[in-house]
Amino acid sequence: MKERLRVLASPIAAALASIGIAVGVLLALGHAPLGALEALVRGAGGSPAAWTGTLQKSTPLLLTGLAVALSFRCGVWNIGAEGQLYAGALAATFVATRWLPADGGAWLVAPVLVAGALGGAGFGALAGWLRAARGVSEVISTILLNFVAIQLVAYAIQGPLQEAPRAYPQSDPLPHGAMLPALDRLHLGVPLALIAALVVAFLIDRTAVGFRLRAVGHAPEAARFAGLSPERLGTLALALAGGLAGLAGAVELAGMTGRLYEGLSPGPGYTAIAVALLARLAPLAVIPSALFFGALANGALAMQREAAIPSVATQVVQGIVILLSVGFALGRLSLARERVPSEGEA
Amino acid sequence: MLVRAALLVALGCFVAALPGCGGETTQQTETFRVALLTPGSISDGGWNQAAYDGLERVERELGARVSHVETKSPAQFEEEFRSYARDGFDLVFGHGFEYQEAAARVAPSYPETVFVTTSGNTVLPNLAPMVFELEQATYLCGWLAAKLSSSGRLGAIGGVDLPSIRSTFVAFRAGAEAARPGVSVREVFLGRFDDVPAAREAATALLDEGADFLIHQVNDAGRGVFQAVQERAAKGSRVYAFGTNRNQNDMAPDVVLASAVLDVPSAFVEVARRVESGSFRAEPIRLGMGEGIVSFVLNAGLSGGIEAPVLQELAALAAKIRSGELQVPRGNF
């Protein structure tokens, strides 16, 4: 009981400590800290519109955070959620602007999302294959594949996927039917990401495949003696993670931008690592964790808008909060990982 | 203990900040309010910084209240446009073509706010792009080059082959043709904007082919073009180059004959002024020499070598462009 309380207390302590340091940093940079933090809080959740923005920004973080949590739980250090996100967005754009009819109905959403997930999964599986067949460290390959995906997008929008007028480096707009339906700008991707969290939680904690993934992550050699293949399961984990990150790319495309751009959505793939660590790799805990990071990003924009804090200063504040919260969370992580397999729950 | 005390203080600050949260939602002010979204850091010494300089001048010269946000990705554009429009801003700039899609989605819901993108081609009753007519000045570059060239060969070096870049060369060629029918203009594209050695190599190749006047559109890699021209000039050839976008006459004062200059900050002031005075129209805002946004700046150290009649003709041509009597050809994009 006391242990539980401590587990709960650490993120709160982290949040408070980071607020304290943020105040100090803002003072040192010559900005009024109270007005800035007020703008941060109000911008993150002070109005329905602020909540909309926070949820929009949390959605890709939730999906990529799940991708990272899932692969880390299998002992696969997937740093490539960013690249998998772009691969998904690229595949979704290709299908939406080159294959699907421009005048199709709302059913177009389904193939676009599937294409995004498959594109990301394929990209993740590529790193998995390199790891299984050639023993290439997935840390290296996934990082490098990030650059490959980003440059592929840059090539595509100046080449084969560029808009018909060829004036600007951007893709054609997605057909209307391929855009995610939205209720007051909260698009379908938001509930979709929540469902994904439930599915991943169920998969990891309640299925045989999930058990195998965790077993391999926890003790690869023991798992091998038990007849499991860490290589094959690692590839599966990377493909599943890629699928989630690719879905995030498709959701950003079909829910937010409507076209593919260079730098469509930079960052979530990397922030996702922090999101997953703060959640201590538990899929359901990724939901509040992603929400927290989304609120932080959204509030930081409001700090620029309303309190005239330059973006560099807001980035310092964001960085401090991320560092501290992950630092606090990591202190608990080793303990969490020891408990998980024996109890079969997170 | 100390940590706990610090946490308490932090908590205190946090709570103290909260009561202000609910309060003023609809802030009706008479002050003209202008916002700017940039796709990158405003300390980049280039594209984004120029826009922010413009915003600061809008604040100073029009007494406007201003606000800026650096958007990290296209996924954020729409929400930021909305936030400003909801707050009752009169004018919101999106600094790049990539903002037009999001602006077009937001604009119909906020007819009281004017949205302006830097370049682009999307127009709505309260949304328009500003289009810089640098072509007017590159036309004059071409005209002067053809007048003075002894070989009748000119060269143009571009970075990425974009319609906006190509368009400045279209005007350069038209200016050259106007001065001297049959003049040859060779265009080379490097594929990127930051490659000084490649720019230098391309310039050397054009000089080898006999070109004696070069214009470039490779941003700061223009340094490579100037170096190549300086090397050739040092061997006794009469070769010159033109600067573009900024006044680059001082980058190589011995060979840069003139610059086609674009004053981005003044463009922001001009647009803000139009919106404030109610003279905004739903059409692309063309800003060129007539508006004082684009200028053709001769290098005073070199222009003494140009014959007086040529200079007079040049001045007359510039006046015709400024008055709108002469329409400079440009690319269609």
The model's pLDDT over A171-188, given as tens digits with 9 standing for 90+, comes to 999 999 999 999 888 999
Substitution target from B41, B69, B160 for chain A, most A beta carbons within 10 A? B69
Cross-chain Cβ contact A256/B74 below 8 Å: yes
Cα A339 from Cα A11, distance rounded (Å): 19
Q: Least CA distance to A60: which residue of chain B?
A: B75
Cross-chain Cβ contact B72/A266 below 8 Å: yes
Structure tokens at A110: 């389904």
The answer to whether residues B18 and A41 touch, using CB atoms and an 8 Å cutoff, is yes
Nearest 5°: the CA angle A245, A251, A252 is 95
Query: Which of B11, B73, B160 is nearest residue A265 as measured by Cβ atoms?
Result: B73
Question: Are B39 and B116 within one domain?
Answer: yes
In this model, does residue B249 exceed pLDDT 60?
Answer: yes
Give the pLDDT band (50/70/90) at residue B12. Answer: very low
Cross-chain Cβ contact B67/A170 below 8 Å: no
Q: Least CA distance to B77: which residue of chain A?
A: A257
Q: Residue B163: what pLDDT?
A: 83
In this model, does residue B10 exceed pLDDT 50?
Answer: no
The answer to whether residues B297 and B247 touch, using CB atoms and an 8 Å cutoff, is yes
Distances (CA, A) of B81 to A309, A330, A339, B94, B268: 18, 38, 47, 8, 17
> What average pLDDT does the segment B304-310 reach?
91
Cα A44 from Cα A299, distance rounded (Å): 4
Contacts of A182 in chain B (CB under 8 A): none
Within chain A, residue ranges assigned H as helices are 2-28, 33-45, 48-73, 81-94, 109-134, 138-158, 189-206, 208-218, 220-225, 230-252, 268-278, 283-307, 311-343
Q: Give me the amino acid identity at A44.
A: A
Give the pLDDT band (50/70/90) at residue B9. Answer: very low
Cα A49 from Cα B68, distance rounded (Å): 19
Query: Which of B73, B83, B98 is nearest residue A170 as measured by Cβ atoms?
Result: B98
Does residue B102 lie in a domain region?
yes
Cross-chain Cβ contact A306/B67 below 8 Å: yes
Residues 261-320 of chain B with CB under 8 A from chain A are none
Cross-chain Cβ contact B10/A20 below 8 Å: yes
Residues 6+ apart with CB under 8 A from B11: A16, A19
Cα A209 from Cα A223, distance rounded (Å): 13
Question: Are B280 and B312 within one domain?
Answer: no
Report the candidate in A61, A27, A29, A3 with the shortest Cα–Cα distance to residue A322. A61
Q: Residue A2: what pLDDT?
A: 60
The SS3 call for residue B215 is strand
> What angle in degrees, to the nearest 10, is found between the helix axes of A2-28 and A311-343?
170
Does residue B312 lie in a domain region?
yes
Nearest C-alpha of chain B: how many angstroms from A47? 9
Report the candidate in A103, A263, A306 with the shortest Cα–Cα distance to residue B77. A263
Q: Give me the amino acid identity at B71.
A: T
Residues 6+ apart with CB under 8 A from A89: A116, A119, A153, A246, A249, A250, A252, A253, A260, A264, A265
Sort strands A182-183 and A186-187 into parallel, antiparallel or unpaired: antiparallel
* Residue in the block written with tokens 């800026």: B68
Cα B115 from Cα B37, distance rounded (Å): 11
Interface predicted TM-score (ipTM) of this complex, two decimals: 0.81
Structure tokens at A9: 């207390």
Does residue B17 lie in a domain region?
no
Q: Residue A4: what pLDDT?
A: 62
DSSP state of A170: B
Question: Are B66 and B185 within one domain?
Answer: no
In DSSP notation, B13-59 reads HHHHHGGGGTS--S----S-EEEEEESS-TTSSSHHHHHHHHHHHHH
> What angle in degrees, to the nearest 10, is found between the helix axes of A189-206 and A48-73?
30
Cα A298 from Cα A58, distance rounded (Å): 9
In DSSP notation, B11-22 reads HHHHHHHGGGGT
> What average pLDDT does the segment B119-130 reach?
94
In DSSP notation, B74-124 reads HHHHHHHHHHHHHTT-SEEEE-SGGGHHHHHHHGGG-TTSEEEEES----B
Question: Are B200 and B144 within one domain?
Answer: yes
User: Mean pLDDT, 10 residues at a time, over chain A (346 residues)?
Assistant: 62 77 86 88 91 95 97 94 97 96 91 97 96 93 95 93 88 94 91 97 94 90 89 95 97 94 82 89 94 92 89 83 76 50 41
Q: Residue A333: what pLDDT?
A: 53
Does residue B53 lie in a domain region?
yes
Report the candidate in B72, B149, B328, B127 with the shortest Cα–Cα distance to residue A318. B72
Contacts of A310 in chain B (CB under 8 A): 42
Substitution target from A150, A171, A256, A315 for chain B, most B beta carbons within 10 A? A256
Question: Are B201 and B257 within one domain?
Answer: yes
Question: Are B189 and B304 within one domain?
Answer: yes
Strand order through the sheet with B127-132: B65-70, B33-38, B91-94, B114-118, B127-132, B285-287
Does residue B39 lie in a domain region?
yes
* Residue in the block written with tokens 């053709």: B296
Q: Residue A340: what pLDDT?
A: 45
Contacts of B284 in chain A (CB under 8 A): none
Does residue B62 lie in a domain region?
yes
Q: Residue A31: what pLDDT?
A: 87
Structure tokens at B219: 């941003």
Cross-chain Cβ contact A173/B18 below 8 Å: no
Question: Are B317 and B276 within one domain?
Answer: no
| Radius of gyration of chain A measured on its C-alpha atoms | 20
Nearest C-alpha of chain B: how many angstroms from A25? 13
Report the candidate in A206, A82, A97, A324 with the shortest Cα–Cα distance to residue B7. A324
Nearest C-alpha of chain A: how many angstroms from B329? 17
Question: Are B103 and B206 within one domain?
Answer: no
Question: Are B89 and B171 within one domain?
Answer: no
Report the candidate in B138, B227, B235, B229 with the shortest Cα–Cα distance to residue B185. B138
Cα B307 from Cα A236, distance rounded (Å): 76
Q: Residue B322: what pLDDT?
A: 95
Asked if B9 reaches chain A (Cβ–Cβ under 8 Å), the answer is yes
E strand or H helix that includes residue A186:
strand A186-187
Cross-chain Cβ contact B83/A252 below 8 Å: no
Question: Are B190 and B309 within one domain?
Answer: yes
Cross-chain Cβ contact B41/A312 below 8 Å: yes
Cross-chain Cβ contact A20/B13 below 8 Å: yes
Nearest C-alpha of chain A: how many angstroms from B232? 35
Report the candidate in B190, B185, B135, B138 with the shortest Cα–Cα distance to residue B159. B190
Cross-chain Cβ contact A20/B74 below 8 Å: no
> What average pLDDT does the segment B57-80 reach?
93
Q: Least CA distance to B332: which residue of chain A?
A: A167
Number of domains in chain B: 2
Residues 6+ apart with CB under 8 A from A188: A109, A180, A181, A182, A255
Cα B197 from Cα B206, distance rounded (Å): 14
Within B278-307, residue ranges assigned H as helices are 300-303
* Residue in the block written with tokens 């309303």: A306
The SS3 call for residue B217 is strand
Substitution target from B11, B72, B78 for chain A, most A beta carbons within 10 A? B72
Cross-chain Cβ contact A167/B333 below 8 Å: yes
Asked if B333 reaches chain A (Cβ–Cβ under 8 Å), the answer is yes
In this model, does residue B22 exceed pLDDT 70?
Answer: no
The SS3 call for residue B145 is helix
The SS3 call for residue A182 is strand
Q: Residue B74: what pLDDT?
A: 87
Distances (CA, A) of A333 to A292, A328, B40: 18, 9, 36
Q: What are phi and psi of B118, to 5 degrees?
A: -85, 110
The answer to whether residues A10 and A268 touch, using CB atoms and an 8 Å cutoff, is no
Does residue B332 lie in a domain region?
no
Range of the domain at B174: 135-262+299-323
The answer to whether residues A131 and A141 touch, using CB atoms and an 8 Å cutoff, is yes
- CATH number of the domain enclosing B110: 3.40.50.2300
CB atoms within 10 A of CB B99: 30
Question: Are B111 and B229 within one domain?
Answer: no
Report the candidate in B63, B78, B76 with the shortest Cα–Cα distance to residue B31. B63
Contacts of B102 in chain A (CB under 8 A): 257
Size (chain A), residues: 346
Residues 6+ apart with CB under 8 A from B43: A312, B49
Question: Are B186 and B100 within one domain?
Answer: no
* Residue in the block written with tokens 């190589």: B252
The answer to whether residues A70 and A315 touch, using CB atoms and an 8 Å cutoff, is no
Query: Which of A37, A173, A312 is nearest residue B17 as measured by Cβ atoms?
Result: A37
The SS3 call for residue B70 is strand
Does residue B282 lie in a domain region?
yes
Give the pLDDT band (50/70/90) at residue B38. Answer: very high
CATH numeric code, A2-343? 1.10.3470
Nearest C-alpha of chain A: how many angstroms from B34? 11
